[in-house]
């Protein structure tokens, strides 16, 4: 019996010592992690004060307003040298003709507003590769980094026919621009509204092409981890054949545009 009591006491003491040791290890681990975070933050602050952008990779998202439409893009960058990084990008845009003008259907009408004479919606999906150069460091913790980028690659254009709703006396129907219905398509007296966003997706026409793009980025993101700023740029796109956007406007195969974008992202 005495041996059993001694064994129980020994096991209990061992478990107690193990628990204390485990607790100490957990506290030590938490303390080490706090110290690592503190050192990392101090290093980021020091880098920012020195104006240096030091990272391995970055992810940047952008929302852009273009001179002929709008767009969204994402690019992935990997640092190759102190001031140079490789860029891989994907971008979605829509090109609109500058002469497009939305026409209301009247105060008492329930139809959708429409764009008179619009033949097609023109969307683009682009895959690019390029380079990013750091032109100017931040200089101090409140500074702005100036970054130049250029890229080029494959552009896939998608034409979606534009529909309008017309009144034919006893009924209404949706039509797109065609030789048979061209006179009705351009007769505003019988147009009751636009076809809406849902029409024409099953009639997409592919137009392959290429693009080139250059831009300046002004980044004032917090520390070096954050990307936040604006981008000013210019791009050109060329497609396999001419694209018709408006019935009464010239068709184009090459498009030139400028853009202003809000950018945000992270570096690691």
Q: pTM for the complete prediction?
A: 0.78
Sequence-distant (6+) residues with CB within 8 A of 243 are: 120, 122, 157, 159, 207, 251, 252, 253
Q: Tens of pLDDT along 96-124?
A: 999 998 887 755 556 688 999 999 999 99
Spatial separation of the C-alpha atoms in residues 246 and 162, rounded to whole Å:
10
Identify whether the C-beta of residue 159 lies closer than 8 Å to the C-beta of residue 120: yes
Q: If you write DSSP's letter for every residue of 118-154 in order, what string do you get? A: B-EEEEEEEEEEEEEEEEE---STT--EEEEEEEEEE
Give every residue of the chain whose pLDDT is below 50, as ranges. 4, 6-8, 11, 15
**Which pLDDT score is estimated for 81?**
85
CA distance 122 to 239: 12
d(CA 165, CA 157): 26
Contact between 109 and 192 under an 8 Å Cβ cutoff? The reply is yes
pLDDT for residue 120:
95
Q: Which DSSP letter does residue 248 get?
A: T
CA distance 250 to 139: 49
Locate 174 and state its tokens. 């949706």
Distance CA 33, CA 17 (A): 24
| SS3 state of residue 50 | helix
Of residues 63, 75, 99, 64, the one with CA closest to residue 257: 64
């Amino acid at each position: 019996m005495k041996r059993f009591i001694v064994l129980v006491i020994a096991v209990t003491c061992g478990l107690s010592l193990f628990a204390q040791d485990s607790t100490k290890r957990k506290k030590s681990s938490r303390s080490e992690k706090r110290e690592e975070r503190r050192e990392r933050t101090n290093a980021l602050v020091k880098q920012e004060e020195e104006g240096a952008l030091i990272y391995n990779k970055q992810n940047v998202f952008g929302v852009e307003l273009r001179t002929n439409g709008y767009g969204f893009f994402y690019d992935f960058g990997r640092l190759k040298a102190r001031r140079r990084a490789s860029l891989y990008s994907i971008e979605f845009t829509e090109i609109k003709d500058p002469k497009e003008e939305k026409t209301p259907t009247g105060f008492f009408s329930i139809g959708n507003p429409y764009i008179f004479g619009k033949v097609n919606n023109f969307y683009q999906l682009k895959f690019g590769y390029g380079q990013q150069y750091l032109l100017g460091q931040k200089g101090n913790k409140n500074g702005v980094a100036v970054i130049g980028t250029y890229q080029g690659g494959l552009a896939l254009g998608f034409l979606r026919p534009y529909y309008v709703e017309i009144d034919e006396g006893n009924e209404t129907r949706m039509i797109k621009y065609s030789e048979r219905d061209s006179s009705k398509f351009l007769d505003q007296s019988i147009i009751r509204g636009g076809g809406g966003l849902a029409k024409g997706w099953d009639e997409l026409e592919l137009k392959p092409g290429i693009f080139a793009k250059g831009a300046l980025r002004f980044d004032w993101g917090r520390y070096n981890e954050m990307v936040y700023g604006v981008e000013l740029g210019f791009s050109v796109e060329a497609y396999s054949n001419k694209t018709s956007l408006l019935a009464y406007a010239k068709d184009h195969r090459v498009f030139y545009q400028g853009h202003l974008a809000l950018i945000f992202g992270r570096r690691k």
